A and B are shown apart, each in its own frame.
Chain A
Amino acid sequence: MTAYNFAYLDEQTKRMIRRAILKGLAIPGYQVPFASREMPMPYGWGTGGVQVSAATLTPDDTFKVIDQGADDTTNAVSIRKFFEKTAQVATTEKTAEATVIQTRHRIPEEPLTEDQILVYQVPIPEPLRFLEPSEVETRKMHALEEYGLMHVKLYEDISRHGHIATAYAYPVKVEGRYVMDPSPIPKFDNPKMEMAGIQLFGAGREQRIYALPPYTRVVSLDFEDHPFDPSKADHPCDMCGAGDSYLDEVIVDDAGGRMFVCSDTDYCATRQAAGHRGRLTTEDAA
């Protein structure tokens, strides 16, 4: 792969992306347009995250990629291999060992530190998109801080269903200014967004980058009488017994039998290695 520059993109492109990242960090939650490139993987498969990671990685970094919380899902494998090949960076599955973590749809369970960067892959960066399809209009709404439409939508959910009917990509307000799409993470992960690490969001197809500096105030939208509820499956993990992690539901037999297991594979494996046991742990599993 010597035909390509470190981390695939040429230095000019990385510079352009870094400028967008810095602008994003300076205006938390604001969607910065950037000249997204065609990457050798399809749009919608993490090209935004990949470009942000490419502009962020240095040769000394240790890189981790998760999709749905897992390091071994096919697209996470594919992206990790891409950077192993084009940047020759060290990779890891351990959250604590990584300096840059690219993620799709999850925030790791283990709290991140000030030395870590979390890069999100974002499909639709515009939180107002499904209320207003026109980009021209939604940019105007953000500029004017005109978020009435979003509150009306949430209110209508409550009046119709008794709850806010959004389970993932639950909108947040950043530092009291911009309403932001947290990417399709489950709302269970929303409270974790107030963290020590830097959070960068890349939407390749939609040509947008946005960011959250460390310790930024991120509030999930709600009402006083209907406070935000970061719910999850009401079970402990069947493999490691964790009661505080986000769980995947897995169908295990033809009769519809099911089990619940941590979606964060590193968190679960680390707990099992430390001797934690769940309902279905077999002795040889650890």
Chain B
Amino acid sequence: MYVAVKGGERAIDNAHQWLAEERRGDRDVAELSVDQIREQLSLAVNRVMAEGSLYDPDLAALAIKQARGDLIEAIFLIRAYRTTLPRFGASEPVDTGAMACDRRISATFKDAPGGQVLGPTFDYTHRLLDFALAAEGLAPEAATEGEPATGPVPHVTEFLNHEGLIQQEHAPAHDTPRDLTREPLELPAGRPLRLQALTRGDEGFVLGMAYSTQRGYGRNHPFVGELRIGTVAVEMEVPELGFAVEIGEVVLTECETVNQFVGSKSEPPQFTRGYGLVFGQTERKAISMALVDRALRWEELGEDNVGVPAQDEEFVLYHSDNIQATGFLEHIKLPHYVDFQSELELIRKLRREAMEGERREAAE
């Protein structure tokens, strides 16, 4: 006998309780604290801050805990929280030239003023599981401290600029760039909006797009001109004071690529640039962002659009946001009885007619 699909409300409550229990796991194992996540899973925290578009390591760590380590779910929690926050104003542009660098490398010059600084990188580790880590309680040896770098760390690409070998970035337009989180995306978006979308875009998606350009779908011959990670001051002009004051610090990863370019109808032979800037230590994302940024600049540089995905602003921008993507993808779990029923009737009708047609033909 038919039992109506009642009890949705009770089912939801019970599911939530079960979820909370699963999140906690075995109660004989000590509970993970938000501080531990912030300090020991800091790259996960960085990704959540970057794609959540909110620089708050404590909230990001809380979101990761609440999301049971599902980073996209954690990013979603942060985004939903962020959208409710009031806006006091906008900061001054950060000066990455004045960054206190933990890491700063260039693949185009052997050495440069400020030096090459490897910093805390996985790059030259051998990826061997370290079973000693499984035996908890052993503190790693403190890293030996070298001489702290002093003096300025100028951007490497500026050296090329002195010679006029690299394309000049145009002075910032006087218009305030549009805000992706406060206005609907309308196309053509232009570079400021593209960069906004890329910096909060899904790391996997942006990586895949960047990789596709390396494999030939819109190849743009990139070198890492410079990759730097470190702390920059955030300044804001307070109307009552009439000048900018420092209101905090953020860790950023900045990547500038230098791309070969033989010239086009409108531009002479020169090097061109791609740019990536992402919250936290997030270098895979920053490099990917720079490659995709460069690919999307085809029109501005007078290149041909060869029809590859990474050159298609609409394709990249509409599909880079993992919160939009995961929501729409997962919504197909919701009931669709009504649509399915109407399809069912249509298919039955079309089949009936097709079968009758066959029978008629057989009889003839």
**Contacts between the two chains (Cβ within 8 Å), count:** 149
Q: Using Cβ atoms and an 8 Å threshold, which residues of chain A touch B188?
A: 136
Q: Does B342 contact A (CB under 8 A)?
A: yes
B1 on interface, CB distance cutoff 8 Å: yes
A4 on the B face (CB < 8 A): yes
Q: Does A171 sit at the interface, judged by CB under 8 A?
A: no
Tell me the residues in window 8-49 of chain B with beta carbons closer than 8 Å to chain A beta carbons. Answer: 8-9, 11-12
Who on chain A is nearest to B9 by CB? Answer: A77
Q: How far is the CB of B251 from chain A (nearest CB, A)?
A: 24
Contact (Cβ within 8 A) A282 B1: yes
The answer to whether A231 and B350 touch (CB under 8 A), given A35-B183, A43-B324, is: no
Name B279-335 residues within 8 Å CB distance of A. Answer: 314, 318, 323-324, 326-331, 334-335
B323 touches A78 (CB 8 A): no
> For residue A105, which residues in chain B have a CB less than 8 angstroms away from its CB?
336, 338-339
Tell me if B207 counts as interface (CB < 8 A to partner A): no
Chain B contacts for A69, CB-based, 8 A: 338
Q: Judging by beta carbons under 8 Å apart, are A77 and B8 in contact? A: yes
Which A residues are CB-close (under 8 A) to B134?
Answer: none
On chain A, the number of residues with a Cβ less than 8 Å from chain B's Cβ atoms is 67
Q: Does A123 reach chain B (CB closer than 8 Å)?
A: yes
CB atoms of A261 and B2 under 8 A apart: yes
Q: Which residues of B sit under 8 angstroms from A261, Cβ to Cβ?
A: 2, 4
Residues of B within 8 A of A188 (CB): 342
Q: What is the CA–CA distance of A10 and B345 in the complex, to the nearest angstrom?
A: 44
Contact residues of A: prevailing secondary structure: loop
Q: Which of B76-84, B123-131, B145-153, B269-277 contacts A (4 or more CB under 8 A)?
A: B76-84
Q: Which of B187, B335, B342 has the most chain A CB atoms inside 10 A of its CB?
A: B342
Measured in the bound complex, the distance between the Cα atoms of B188 and A130 in whole Å is 21
B118 part of interface (Cβ distance < 8 Å): no
A72 near B334: Cβ-Cβ < 8 Å: no
Point out residues on A near B: beta carbons under 8 Å.
4, 8, 10, 33-40, 42-45, 47, 67-70, 72-78, 81, 104-106, 123, 134-136, 161-163, 165, 167-169, 184-188, 205, 207-208, 231-233, 238-239, 246-250, 252, 259, 261, 263, 265, 280, 282
Pick the residue among B83, B185, B331, B349 that contacts A38 (CB under 8 A). Answer: B83
B5→A70 contact, CB < 8 A = yes
* Chain B residues with CB under 8 A of A248: 337-338, 341
CA distance A267 to B338 in the complex (A): 16
**Would you call B184 an interface residue if the criterion is a C-beta within 8 Å of the partner chain's C-beta atoms?**
yes
Q: A4-B84, A77-B9, A167-B345 are in contact. Are A136 and B187 (CB under 8 A)?
A: yes
- Interface membership of B364, Cβ < 8 A: no
The residue that A135 contacts in the complex, of B181, B187, B327, B335, with Cβ under 8 A, is: B187
Contact status A33-B327, CB under 8 Å: no
Assuming A67-B334, A73-B5, A163-B346, is B184 touching A205 (CB within 8 A)?
no
Chain B residues contacting A282 (CB-CB under 8 Å) are 1
> In the bound complex, do residue A252 and residue B338 qualify as a contact, i.e. CB atoms below 8 Å apart?
no
Which residues from A are CB-within-8-Å of B82?
38
> Is there a chain A Cβ closer than 8 Å to B174's Cβ?
no
Q: What residue in chain B is nearest A162 (Cβ atoms)? A: B353
B328 & A43 in contact (Cβ 8 Å cutoff)? yes
Q: Quote the shortest CB–CB distance from A92 to chain B (angstroms).
A: 15
Determine the chain A residues whose CB is within 8 A of the CB of B183 once the complex forms. Answer: 35
Q: Which residues of B are found within 8 Å of A186, using beta-carbon distances?
A: 338-339, 341-342
B55-70 interface bits toward A, Cβ cutoff 8 Å, 1 = contact, 0 = none = 0000000000000000
The smallest C-beta distance from B9 to any residue of chain A, in angstroms, reads 5
Instruction: Say whether B337 contacts A263, CB under 8 Å.
Output: yes
Asked if B338 and A45 make an inter-chain contact with CB atoms under 8 angstroms apart, the answer reads no
Interchain Cβ contacts under 8 Å between A and B, 26 examples: A35-B183, A38-B79, A42-B76, A42-B326, A42-B330, A43-B331, A44-B328, A45-B331, A68-B335, A136-B187, A136-B314, A163-B349, A165-B350, A168-B343, A184-B339, A186-B342, A205-B327, A207-B185, A208-B184, A231-B349, A248-B338, A248-B341, A259-B2, A261-B4, A265-B4, A282-B1
